[in-house]
């Protein structure tokens, strides 16, 4: 999920719509509301954020350090001004990158991925047994062959593999795939996506690598 922080409704709505077209969940905050949220949100909600976009607002410059108290997710500033002083001020307050409007959402996603690689919070791919999942949007591979999946199922597999060996709840998966503020989708849709994913993995592997326990959640691991 991408979090957009800007005091202008038009900017927040515009970016959340653009990210939605790319299949990436996002939500928007006013800077003052965001400051309270980032300091009090549950760890699982913070962990669901792939990147933060900081735009215009009286308190915007104070937000990157508040974010750093909770997560190492990329923080990218969106600048309306081409001035060197504004760019340097953003870097001084702790952002990882500064982009100038207009900027395509794909460029923002690419910059966020590059920051994560530099911080070594993500590698280009993760292997677990014969399964390889990528961090750049490509379909996973099984036994070296492309394992094509619909976007939601692919993101669920990526999330499970990135948390391999650790059990995650249905709510955590939902937050990572749909975003923590999506009220138009029922959380139970996760069960349907996982059921389809497990059937496809079972067909390709000959067994189901995803373990599920009622009330505890899901886990993928390879002994």
Domain extent at residue 211: 125-220
Q: What is the pTM of this model?
A: 0.59
- Residues 69, 136, single domain; the answer is no
Number of domains in the chain: 2
Same-domain check for residues 109 and 163:
no
Residues 149 and 182 in one domain: yes
CATH number at residue 21: 3.40.50.2300
Q: How far apart are CA 214 and CA 4, in angstroms?
A: 35
Residue 93: per-residue pLDDT: 86
Of 69, 89, 119, the residue at which a domain comes to its end is 119
In this predicted structure, what is the pLDDT of residue 207?
92
The H-or-E segment that residue 208 falls in is none
Q: What is the reported pLDDT for 60? A: 85
Is residue 103 within 8 A of residue 78, CB to CB? The reply is: yes
Residues 153 and 104 in one domain: no
- For the chain, the average pLDDT equals 87
Cβ neighbors of 33 (< 8 A, separation 6 or more) are none
Low-confidence ranges of the chain (pLDDT < 50): none
Do 103 and 181 sit in the same domain of this protein? no
Dihedral of alpha carbons 79, 67, 125, 159, sign: negative
First to last CA, the chain: 31
């Amino acid at each position: 999920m991408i979090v957009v922080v800007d005091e202008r409704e038009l900017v927040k709505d515009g970016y959340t719509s653009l990210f939605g077209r790319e299949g990436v969940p996002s939500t928007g905050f006013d800077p003052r509301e965001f400051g309270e949220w980032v300091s009090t949100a549950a760890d699982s909600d913070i962990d669901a954020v792939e990147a933060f976009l900081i735009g215009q607002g009286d308190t915007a410059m104070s937000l990157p350090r508040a974010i750093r108290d909770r997560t190492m997710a990329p923080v990218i500033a969106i600048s309306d001004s081409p001035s060197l002083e504004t760019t340097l001020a953003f870097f001084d307050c702790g952002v990882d990158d500064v982009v100038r409007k207009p900027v395509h959402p794909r460029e923002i996603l690419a910059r966020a991925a590059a920051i994560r690689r530099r911080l070594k919070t993500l590698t280009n791919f993760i292997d677990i047994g014969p399964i390889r999942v990528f961090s750049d949007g490509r379909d996973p591979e099984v036994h070296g062959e492309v394992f094509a999946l619909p976007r939601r199922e692919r993101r669920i597999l990526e999330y499970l593999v990135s948390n391999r060996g650790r059990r995650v709840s249905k709510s955590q998966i939902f937050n990572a795939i749909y975003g923590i503020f999506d009220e138009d989708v029922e959380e139970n849709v996760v069960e349907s996506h996982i059921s389809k994913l497990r059937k496809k993995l079972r067909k390709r592997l000959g067994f189901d690598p995803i373990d599920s326990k009622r009330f505890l959640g899901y886990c993928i691991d390879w002994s």
